[in-house]
Amino acid sequence: MFTAIKTFSQVITHMSIAFGLAYLLTGSLALGGLAAIIEPVINVALLPLHEKAWHAIRRRHAASRLGLAAVAGEKLSQTGMHMGVAFAVIYGATGSMAFGGLLAVLEPICNVIVLPLHDGLWERLRGKFQGHGASLGKLAPL
């Protein structure tokens, strides 16, 4: 249960970053909301296809020295895909290559900074609950 709540919190954090940046760039709540919903949905739809393709590449090169390079290539490719989706969503919504490019750079940077802090907070919470013998299932409802 803890992992599910943490994952849900990660999604909300990611969507908040997308919304906040799009709103700051455009001044539009509608475009901010569009970015917060459409961008993650497209990434979620594309990620399994991306992982399937890279799984085949890694399997093909697992025994060779290219295995580690394939893992690095997958991460770079995934970053590029994420940036491309962010660019396409904002460019499609605003018609501005400048806004699309800026969001494509800023959004992954913000995620790289904020999400590890988020995960650290959740791991401290996990330790606190395990240390006290409590579980999230025993917490009082909100």
Is residue 87 a contact partner of residue 104, using CB atoms and an 8 Å limit? yes
pLDDT for 134 beyond 70: no
Is residue 53 a contact partner of residue 60, using CB atoms and an 8 Å limit? no
Pick the more confident residue, 139 or 64.
Answer: 64
Alpha-carbon distance of 47 to 86, in angstroms, equals 14
SS3 65: coil
* Sign of CA pseudo-dihedral 120, 121, 123, 127: positive
Provide the residue ranges of all domains of the chain, joining segments of one domain with +: 2-131
Which pLDDT tens digit goes with each residue over 19-53?
Answer: 999 999 889 999 899 888 998 888 888 888 988 99
Residues 55-74: b if buried by 16+ CB within 10 A, e if exposed? eebbeebeeeeeeeebeeeb
pLDDT for 138 beyond 70: no
Q: What is the dihedral of CA 38, 43, 90, 9, to 10 degrees?
A: 70
pLDDT at 24: 92
Please give the model's pTM, rounded to 2 decimal places: 0.70
